């Protein structure tokens, strides 16, 4: 038997809700440090909770080699079990709070990176109105959002292009206008009513393949039979803006990623026929998922404030 390994016991005793929540966070994030940050505790506190849980179970649950964390067979089984159990317990806690007339609980949202520029402005008033609700916002690229969606890791998901191959529910809550950008001193910046065909031969700086913006742009150019010369692919909206301002090519981004006066960033919004492309931001969740009281509260909040959202986000 490995040194310091907890001895098997006849049964599990003294397993606490805190231990299970800590284990679920470590197993999901594959990191003691990130789990500690998410739970607003120190890393030694997380390590202690995991140690106590392993002692109560009587089997090792987590293996750590260097910085790499993996789950044992018992850990995988517990992770699957406690994920569903904690989700049910969270719904129970929120239902009790609802019956008491108090909105309390935790709201987990996974959102694509482009929403970084407006989601805080959406969440701020929501948190102010419901101070008993803690919001965990995970901002990642579209592939990671889809991965989290497929594994039902969060309450709600925010994206501009919902997937066609997953059984989901999606509801639009905010307009998403895609605009074509150029450096402020670009010759096209002084032109008006530019036909899309007039951009043929221009080099473009776009988001990476698979991003919602890129998928929409490629579809629009393909439908209008205009060639799209992608000179550079970048992984963030800010990088695209800097490349456009530096004269590396034209760009296409959501208007929500720009300041009120784009010229201050060294860029101009081109007046191109058919643009802006008017899309929407969507709230998405797996079909059949039982939304928590807190998630429903957030949906109601957005639906009753559509006009304010449009003004605030743009």
Query: pLDDT (tens digit, 9 = 90+) per residue, 218-275?
Result: 998 899 888 888 899 898 889 999 999 999 999 999 998 888 888 888 999 999 998 9
List domains and CATH numbers for the chain. 1-102 (1.10.10.10), 103-174+280-313 (3.40.190.10), 177-279 (3.40.190.10)
Across 41-49, average pLDDT: 91
Question: In degrees rounded to 5, what are phi and psi of residue 62?
Answer: -130, 135
Residue 68 pLDDT level (bands cut at 50, 70, 90): confident
Q: 7: which 2 tokens?
A: 């001895």
Q: 105: which 2 tokens?
A: 């609980």
Across 174-202, average pLDDT: 91
Three-class secondary structure of residue 190 per DSSP = helix
State percent of the chain over pLDDT 90.
35
CA neighbor of 174 nearest in space, from 50, 20, 305: 305
Q: What is the pLDDT of residue 97?
A: 64
Annotate 204-273 with DSSP letters as a single string: EEEEPTTSHHHHHHHHHHHHTT---EEEEEESSHHHHHHHHHTTS-EEEEEGGGS-S-GGGGTEEE--BT
Q: 309: which 2 tokens?
A: 């959202």
Residue 84 pLDDT level (bands cut at 50, 70, 90): confident
Higher pLDDT: 110 or 85? It is: 110
d(C-alpha 277, C-alpha 180), whole Å: 9
Ramachandran sector of residue 15 (left: φ over 0; alpha: ψ -120 to 50; beta: rest): beta
pLDDT at residue 1 tops 70: no
User: What does pLDDT average to over the chain?
Assistant: 85
Q: Which DSSP symbol is given to 58?
A: T
Q: 116: which 2 tokens?
A: 């970084």
Higher pLDDT: 83 or 108? It is: 108
Query: pLDDT (tens digit, 9 = 90+) per residue, 96-151?
Result: 766 565 567 789 999 998 888 888 888 989 999 888 888 989 898 888 999 999 88
CA neighbor of 245 nearest in space, from 189, 168, 294: 189
Q: Are the C-beta atoms of residues 80 and 42 closer than 8 Å to each other?
A: no
């Amino acid at each position: 038997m490995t040194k310091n390994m907890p001895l098997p016991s006849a049964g599990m005793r003294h397993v606490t809700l805190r231990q299970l929540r800590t284990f679920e966070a470590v197993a999901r994030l594959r990191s003691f440090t990130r789990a500690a940050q998410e739970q607003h505790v120190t890393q030694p506190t997380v390590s202690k909770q995991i140690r106590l849980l392993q002692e109560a179970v009587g089997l090792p649950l987590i293996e750590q080699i260097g910085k790499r964390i993996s789950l044992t067979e018992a850990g995988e089984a517990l992770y699957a079990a406690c994920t569903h159990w904690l989700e049910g317990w969270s719904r129970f806690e929120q239902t009790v709070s609802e019956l008491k007339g108090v909105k309390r609980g935790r709201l987990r949202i996974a959102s694509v990176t482009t929403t970084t520029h407006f989601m805080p402005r959406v969440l701020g008033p929501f948190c102010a109105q419901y101070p008993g609700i803690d919001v965990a916002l995970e901002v990642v690229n579209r592939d990671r959002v889809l991965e989290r969606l497929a594994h039902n890791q969060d309450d709600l998901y925010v994206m501009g292009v919902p997937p066609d191959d997953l059984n989901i529910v999606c509801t639009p809550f905010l307009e998403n206008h895609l605009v074509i950008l150029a450096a402020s001193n670009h010759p096209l910046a002084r032109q008006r009513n530019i036909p899309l065909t007039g951009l043929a031969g221009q080099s473009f700086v776009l988001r990476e393949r698979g991003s919602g913006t890129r998928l929409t742009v490629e579809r629009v150019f393909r439908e209008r039979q205009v060639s799209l010369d992608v000179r550079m692919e970048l992984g963030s909206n800010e990088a695209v803006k800097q490349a456009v301002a530096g004269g590396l090519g034209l760009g296409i981004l959501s208007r929500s990623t720009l300041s009120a006066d784009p010229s201050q960033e060294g860029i101009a919004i081109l007046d191109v026929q058919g643009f802006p492309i008017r899309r929407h931001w969507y709230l998405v969740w797996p079909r059949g998922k039982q939304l928590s009281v807190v998630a429903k509260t957030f949906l109601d909040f957005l639906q009753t404030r559509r006009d304010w959202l449009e003004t605030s986000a743009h």
